[in-house]
Amino acid sequence: MDQHRSGCPINLTLEILGDGWSLIVIRDVMFGNRRHFRELLGQSEEGIASNILSARLKRLLAEGLLVKHPDPTHRQKSIYSLTEAAIQLVPLLVQMGAWGRRHTPVSRELSIRAQLLEEGGPQMWADFMDELRHIHLGAPAPEKSVLAELQDAYLRVVAGQTDVGTT
Residue ranges that bind DNA, judged by CB under 7 A: 19-21, 36-39, 41, 47-52, 54-55, 57-58, 68, 71, 73-78
Look at residue 76 and give the partner it binds from its own copies, DNA, none, a contact being a CB closer than 5 to 8 Å depending on partner kind.
DNA
- Crossing angle of helices 146-158 and 108-137, in 10° steps, is 160
Nearer to its own copies, 53 or 89 (CB): 89
Pairing of strands 66-71, 74-82: antiparallel
Nearest CA among 78, 89, 71 for reference residue 132: 89
SS3 107: coil
Q: Is residue 119 within the footprint of its own copies (CB under 8 A)?
A: no
Query: Taking the complex as a whole, how short is the minimal distance between the CB of residue 57 and its own copies, in angstroms?
Result: 17
Q: Is residue 42 within the footprint of its own copies (CB under 8 A)?
A: no
Residue from 77, 101, 133, 134 touching its own copies (CB under 8 A): that is: 101
Q: Is residue 2 within the footprint of its own copies (CB under 8 A)?
A: yes
Give the CA count within 13 Å in the CB-facing half-sphere of 96.
10
Look at residue 57 and give the partner it binds from DNA, its own copies, none, a contact being a CB closer than 5 to 8 Å depending on partner kind.
DNA
> Do residues 95 and 51 make contact, with C-beta atoms less than 8 angstroms apart?
no
Q: Is residue 129 within the footprint of its own copies (CB under 8 A)?
A: no
Please work out, in degrees rounded to the nearest 5, the angle formed at the alpha carbon of residue 154 by the alpha carbons of 48 and 14: 45
Which among 70-78, 86-94, 135-143, 146-154 is the span making contact with its own copies, rule CB under 8 A? 86-94
Nearest CA among 98, 130, 129 for reference residue 113: 98
Distance CA 97, CA 86 (A): 16
Q: Is residue 79 within the footprint of its own copies (CB under 8 A)?
A: no
Return residues touching its own copies (CB under 8 A): 2, 4-16, 18-20, 23-24, 27, 45-47, 64, 85, 88-89, 91-93, 95-107, 109-111, 114
